[in-house]
């Protein structure tokens, strides 16, 4: 049962991440096609834009985090920064060092970063504290919160 929830959460994360990835690819293609930047700089710039989109959507929809932005945003930023770094390194290695087409290289980088950031965000960024001081994964926290049926919470 737990495996099914993890798969569903990953599918949700990946689906929402597609919106951020679209933003990244738009910035990538626009900067490369306009001659303003090469593939690596365009990809990294796009990844920053995509990370901002993903934080807003994943916090609200994938993980349903109730915690403060002061707690989750720095963790998400650290995770996203790692993702941007991995993305840049993969793009550099594939495009500059191995002459792989930048779009194909970006698909590869996107898959690697998707898996990495999902694992980190699930296990660290959006973990919820339990009343006894231990922590819950976001899906566990959602199951333990009382359901409110009326406007006044009753």
Rounded mean pLDDT of 131-149?
53
- Comparison of pLDDT for 130 and 141, the residue scoring more: 130
- Domain extent listing, the chain: 2-144
In this structure, of 29-33, 55-59, 116-120, 141-145, the range with the lowest mean pLDDT score is 141-145
Residue 56's CB: how many other CB atoms inside 10 A? Answer: 13
Q: Residues 100, 102, 105, CA angle at the centre, nearest 5°?
A: 65
CB contact burial 113-135 (16+ within 10 A = b; e otherwise): bbeebbebbbeebbbbeeeeeee
Q: Which tens digits make up the pLDDT trace of 36-92? A: 999 999 988 998 898 889 898 999 888 888 778 898 999 999 999 999 899 999 999
């Amino acid at each position: 049962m737990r495996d099914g929830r993890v798969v569903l959460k990953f599918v949700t994360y990946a689906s929402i991440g597609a919106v951020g990835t679209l933003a990244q690819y738009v910035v990538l293609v626009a900067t490369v096609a306009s001659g303003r930047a090469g593939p690596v700089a365009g990809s990294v710039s796009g990844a920053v834009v995509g990370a901002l989109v993903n934080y807003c959507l994943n916090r609200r929809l994938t993980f349903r985090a109730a915690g403060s932005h002061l707690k989750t945003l720095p963790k998400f930023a650290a995770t996203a920064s790692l993702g941007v770094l991995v993305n840049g390194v993969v793009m550099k290695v594939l495009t500059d060092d191995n002459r792989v087409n930048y779009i194909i290289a970006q698909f590869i980088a996107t898959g690697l970063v998707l898996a990495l950031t999902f694992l980190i965000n699930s296990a660290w960024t959006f973990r919820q504290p339990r009343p006894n001081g231990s922590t819950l994964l976001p899906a566990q926290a959602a199951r333990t919160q009382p359901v409110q049926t009326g406007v006044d919470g009753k």
